[in-house]
Amino acid sequence: MFLEDAWYSSSHLKFYTDAAQSLGFGIVFSRKWAYSKWPSDWTHKNIAFLKLFPIVLGVRISLSI
């Protein structure tokens, strides 16, 4: 599997995510959106992991639509 030569920005894809260690995360993809609180045992996890989680989830959801 090879990556395409063209890379697209978040604004081009209309794909945005955010995460807060104390609250949860949000995903916006075009006109669709999702959000959730973290499970109580996730609030101590590294913020880098927490920021990556909604990106992976958003890509997974967008591929299943």
pLDDT digits (tens, 9 = 90+) for 43-54: 999 999 999 999
How far from chain centre, in Å, is Cα 48?
A: 12
Could you give the number of structural domains in the chain? 1
Residue 45 has phi, psi (to 5 degrees) of -70, 160
45 belongs to a structural domain: yes
State the residue for tokens 């697209």. 8
Residue 46 covered by a domain:
yes
pLDDT tens per residue across span 7-62? 778 888 889 999 999 999 999 988 889 999 999 999 999 999 999 999 999 989 88
**Rounded-to-10 torsion of CA 16, 42, 44, 10:** -10
CA 13 to CA 23: how far, in whole Å?
26
> Residue 58: which domain range?
38-65
Task: Give the Cα separation of 52 and 22 in Å (integer).
Answer: 15
Answer whether residue 12 is part of any domain: no
Residue 2 has pLDDT above 70, yes or no: no
Residue 49 in any domain: the answer is yes
Task: Decide if 30 is inside a domain.
Answer: no
Q: Is residue 32 part of a domain?
A: no
Domain assignment present for residue 51? The answer is yes
